[in-house]
């Protein structure tokens, strides 16, 4: 999704803005631009396409000036084009605006402004902000912004600069994320931390309905109505290297390799030597747990797949029924929520709009809200009653990998903690589960020790038009994740199917050499899966099975076998997914895809 960067200080603004935008590239975008105040005039450069096009233009003809705003756009209103790119400006080019999110009532405002004679050049919703500012501006930029915001509806963040107020940048947050970076004799605004991390680790995380007046040597924070506010400075605890590729070809492969550490970092602070669990920001008591009669787990995409494991673990250990739903569906359904409902929102970014709105819906009906998220201070974390942070570190590749495995590990620890409090697990079962969980990082590392085999498998399937993934129970859940990974990074059509459901339709698509990835990592369902493997093999499929180490029998039925270390059925999917991530990565690499930034996708989906 779109990205914002702003700078005010004594240095040349343009390179700081473009470098910041580069760090936001992972969010997904289709055009980029900057506006810089240069010798009493606002100069705007903006182009459709990669940031390199903008960089090239600035290299040819540099822009001077120490105050500016920049933007990467992910098209919502109007196609990707130079004219629809941000920043946008009023007709006299005295006020420039960058904007993330959507202004829902822009059509109505546009018609009003057109009736007054304002001419629109783009198809964007953003342009109404520029002309409205023009209409309200009488020398006081802050007041003009306040009036404009009073008219806008939607979820958005704004960065505003004005030729006639050269000492300040204005930032506004209405739902869409925005931070203010605190420097020395220079300050920043940005939609995400990596954009300014090179310059400062101290930030203010803005809340909904807040505004910042950012000057070179001061930052004033206030509510939109002007009421001053104070905020704690948030100190970022990771550094620039964590957001760099560190010798790997892509962030995706780097992040796949970071999984043992990410799982360890997520688990070990919560697990003591005596096997007790301590969850920092989860305050659920036995009384709370006895009160719940159901749990909803709500998320999108990969986070939803992690939620499916959450259901298995919570139902097994805590013995409360769990419904897992996609946030964009849940919002428009008629869910049964009241004070007896626990809702667990899963989101790497903590900013996914549908998940956030689902949270608000649950809250309004009295549910207790828990968040599992990777981003400290994100919107979802802030509005939840209880939070479990996954300590995966920054995830830059659009395709989620380490966030997923840490979400899975988090569900294991949440379910066990709830079960102990509720008294729904025996001591023996608990000990087995905890001991297994403690070994998870090492077992993940073992898989990553030998990955050449997966590269060979990628060679076998990378030219296929379709790939099927099959599994049962949690093997099916992880099959869905494997299939999603393959399609999003390699653009090969792929489908995941329950092993037992194949013969009810999808089997018709299996013919000679159709690749079928068959997950058979659970002892409980192994025999059933073996029958399904034989079914597809009999139709000529090229079967790549995934099983636990030591299972030699499966080699008789499958063409290839990927082995994972021995593990309990409950935790097997947290390991099975790793070879599937690698497979997707190597297939995409052979097909020459833009792995970290797949077409049409964005890292943080902050629009509906």
DSSP 522-554: -STTHHHHHHHHHHHHHTT-EEEEEEETT--GG
Identified binder of ligand F6R from the candidate list 72, 146, 176, 348, rule CB under 6 A:
348
Burial class (CB in 10 A: 0-12, 13-18, 19+), 278: exposed
Identified binder of ligand F6R from the candidate list 133, 144, 236, 303, rule CB under 6 A:
303
Beta carbons of 475 and 533 less than 8 angstroms apart: no
DSSP state of 228: B
Identified binder of ligand F6R from the candidate list 66, 191, 259, 302, rule CB under 6 A:
302
Tell me, residue by residue from 233 to 262, as one string, x for binding to ligand F6R by CB under 6 A and - for no binding: ------------------------------
Choices 63-71, 273-281, 298-306, 408-416; region in contact with ligand F6R by CB under 6 A: 298-306
Minimum CB distance to ligand F6R smaller for 162 or for 300: 300
Nearest to 471 by CA among 564, 554, 546: 546
Nearest to 570 by CA among 531, 525, 527: 525
Q: How far is the CB of 605 from ligand F6R (least distance, A)?
A: 5
Catalytic center residues: 2, 603
Q: How far is the CB of 214 from ligand F6R (least distance, A)?
A: 27
DSSP state of 232: P
Cα 130 from chain centroid? 30
Q: How far is the CB of 589 from ligand F6R (least distance, A)?
A: 16
Q: How far is the CB of 480 from ligand F6R (least distance, A)?
A: 11
Tell me, residue by residue from 125 to 164, as one string, x for binding to ligand F6R by CB under 6 A and - for no binding: ----------------------------------------
Strand boundaries in 55-141, DSSP class E: 67-73, 88-89, 95-103
Minimum CB distance to ligand F6R smaller for 1 or for 541: 1
Tokens of 150: 């009073």
Minimum CB distance to ligand F6R smaller for 46 or for 250: 250
Identified binder of ligand F6R from the candidate list 66, 85, 349, 464, rule CB under 6 A:
349
User: Residue 50: how many CB atoms within 10 A of its CB?
Assistant: 17
DSSP state of 175: S
Looking up tokens 């941000």 gives: 86
Burial class (CB in 10 A: 0-12, 13-18, 19+), 113: buried
Minimum CB distance to ligand F6R smaller for 124 or for 349: 349
Nearest to 266 by CA among 438, 419, 449, 431: 438
Q: Total binding residues for ligand F6R by CB under 6 A?
A: 15
Report CA-CA distances (Å) from 586 to 256, 476, 488, 527.
12, 22, 13, 30
Minimum CB distance to ligand F6R smaller for 284 or for 327: 327
The SS3 assignment for 55 reads helix
Q: How far is the CB of 525 from ligand F6R (least distance, A)?
A: 26
Choices 219-227, 283-291, 342-350, 536-544; region in contact with ligand F6R by CB under 6 A: 342-350
Q: How far is the CB of 107 from ligand F6R (least distance, A)?
A: 28
Identified binder of ligand F6R from the candidate list 31, 352, 406, 576, rule CB under 6 A:
352
Q: Which residues pair with 223 in a beta bridge?
A: 210
The SS3 assignment for 112 reads helix
Residue least distant from ligand F6R (Cβ): 301
Q: Is residue 605 part of the contact set for ligand F6R (CB under 6 A)?
A: yes
Q: How far is the CB of 276 from ligand F6R (least distance, A)?
A: 29
The SS3 assignment for 180 reads strand
Tell me, residue by residue from 466 to 505, as one string, x for binding to ligand F6R by CB under 6 A and - for no binding: ------------------x---x-----------------
Choices 262-270, 301-309, 359-367, 468-476; region in contact with ligand F6R by CB under 6 A: 301-309
HSE on the CB side for 532, CA within 13 Å?
A: 29
Supply the angle between the helices 569-590 and 427-449 in degrees, to the nearest 10. 20
Tokens of 451: 């990955």
Identified binder of ligand F6R from the candidate list 301, 310, 377, 482, rule CB under 6 A:
301
Tally: H helices and E strands in the chain: 18, 24
Choices 189-197, 210-218, 344-352, 559-567; region in contact with ligand F6R by CB under 6 A: 344-352
Beta carbons of 411 and 313 less than 8 angstroms apart: yes
Give the neighbor-by-neighbor strand order of the sheet with 294-299: 322-326, 294-299, 341-347, 368-373, 386-389
Minimum CB distance to ligand F6R smaller for 402 or for 422: 402
Q: How far is the CB of 36 from ligand F6R (least distance, A)?
A: 32
Identified binder of ligand F6R from the candidate list 18, 66, 126, 355, rule CB under 6 A:
355
Burial class (CB in 10 A: 0-12, 13-18, 19+), 366: exposed
Site for ligand F6R in 398-457 (CB under 6 A): 399-400
d(CA 153, CA 412): 40
Minimum CB distance to ligand F6R smaller for 87 or for 177: 177
Tokens of 464: 């296929």
Choices 296-304, 310-318, 385-393, 521-529; region in contact with ligand F6R by CB under 6 A: 296-304
Q: How far is the CB of 347 from ligand F6R (least distance, A)?
A: 3
Tokens of 481: 């994740």
Choices 115-123, 341-349, 361-369, 382-390; region in contact with ligand F6R by CB under 6 A: 341-349
Q: How far is the CB of 573 from ligand F6R (least distance, A)?
A: 16
Q: Is residue 390 part of the contact set for ligand F6R (CB under 6 A)?
A: no
Residues near ligand F6R, by CB under 6 A: 300-303, 347-349, 352, 355, 399-400, 484, 488, 604-605
């Amino acid at each position: 999704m779109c990205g914002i960067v702003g700078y005010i200080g004594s240095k040349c603004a343009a390179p700081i803005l473009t470098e910041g935008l580069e760090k936001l590239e992972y969010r997904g975008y289709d055009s980029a631009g900057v506006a810089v105040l240069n010798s009493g005039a606002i100069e705007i450069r903006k182009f459709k396409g990669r940031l390199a096009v903008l960089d090239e233009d600035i290299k040819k003809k540099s822009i001077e000036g120490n105050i500016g705003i920049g933007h990467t756009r992910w098209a919502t209103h109007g196609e990707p084009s130079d004219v629809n790119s941000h920043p946008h400006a009023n007709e006299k080019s005295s006020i420039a605006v960058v904007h993330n999110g959507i202004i829902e009532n822009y059509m109505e405002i546009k018609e009003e402004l057109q009736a007054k004679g304002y001419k629109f050049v783009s198809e964007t919703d953003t342009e109404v902000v520029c002309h409205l500012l023009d209409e309200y501006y009488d020398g006081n930029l802050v007041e003009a912004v306040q009036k404009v915001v009073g008219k806008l509806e939607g979820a958005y963040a704004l960065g505003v600069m004005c030729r006639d107020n050269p000492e300040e940048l204005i930032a506004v947050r209405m739902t869409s994320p925005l931070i203010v970076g605190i420097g020395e004799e220079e300050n920043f605004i940005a939609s995400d931390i990596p954009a300014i991390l090179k310059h400062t680790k101290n930030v203010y995380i803005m809340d909904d309905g807040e505004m910042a007046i950012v000057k070179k040597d001061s930052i004033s924070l206030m509510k939109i109505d002007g009421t001053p506010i104070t905020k704690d400075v948030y100190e970022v605890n990771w550094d620039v290297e964590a957001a760099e590729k560190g010798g790997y070809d892509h962030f995706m492969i780097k992040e796949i390799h970071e999984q043992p550490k990410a799982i360890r970092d997520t688990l070990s602070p919560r697990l003591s030597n005596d096997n007790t669990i301590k969850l920092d920001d989860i305050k659920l008591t036995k009384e709370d747990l006895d009160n719940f009669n159901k749990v909803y787990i709500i998320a999108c995409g990969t986070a939803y797949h992690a939620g499916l494991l959450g259901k298995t673990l919570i139902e097994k250990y805590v013995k409360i029924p769990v419904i897992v739903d996609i946030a964009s569906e849940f919002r428009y359904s008629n869910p049964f929520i009241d004070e007896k409902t626990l809702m667990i929102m899963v989101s790497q970014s903590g900013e996914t709009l549908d998940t956030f709105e689902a949270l608000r819906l649950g809250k309004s009906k009295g549910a207790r809200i828990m968040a599992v998220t990777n981003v400290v201070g994100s919107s979802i974390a802030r509005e939840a009653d209880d939070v479990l942070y996954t300590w995966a570190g920054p995830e830059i590749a659009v395709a989620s990998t380490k966030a997923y495995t840490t979400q899975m590990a988090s569900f294991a620890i949440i379910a066990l903690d709830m079960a102990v409090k509720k008294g729904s697990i025996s001591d023996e079962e608990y000990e087995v589960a905890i001991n297994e969980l403690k070994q998870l990082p090492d077992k993940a590392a073992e898989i990553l020790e030998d990955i050449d085999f997966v590269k060979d498998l990628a060679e076998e399937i990378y030219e296929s038009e379709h790939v099927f993934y099959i599994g049962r129970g949690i093997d099916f859940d992880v099959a869905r994740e494997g299939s999603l990974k393959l399609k999003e990074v390699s653009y090969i059509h792929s489908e995941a199917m329950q092993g037992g459901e194949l013969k009810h339709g999808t089997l018709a698509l299996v013919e000679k050499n159709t690749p079928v990835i068959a997950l058979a990592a659970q002892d409980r369902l192994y025999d059933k899966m073996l029958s399904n493997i034989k079914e597809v093999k009999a139709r000529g499929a090229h079967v790549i099975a995934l099983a636990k180490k030591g299972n030699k029998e499966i080699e008789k039925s499958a063409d290839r076998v990927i082995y994972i270390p021995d593990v309990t059925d409950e935790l097997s999917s947290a390991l099975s997914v790793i070879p599937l991530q690698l497979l997707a990565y190597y297939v995409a690499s052979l097909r020459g895809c833009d792995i970290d930034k797949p077409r049409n996708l964005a890292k943080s989906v902050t629009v509906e």
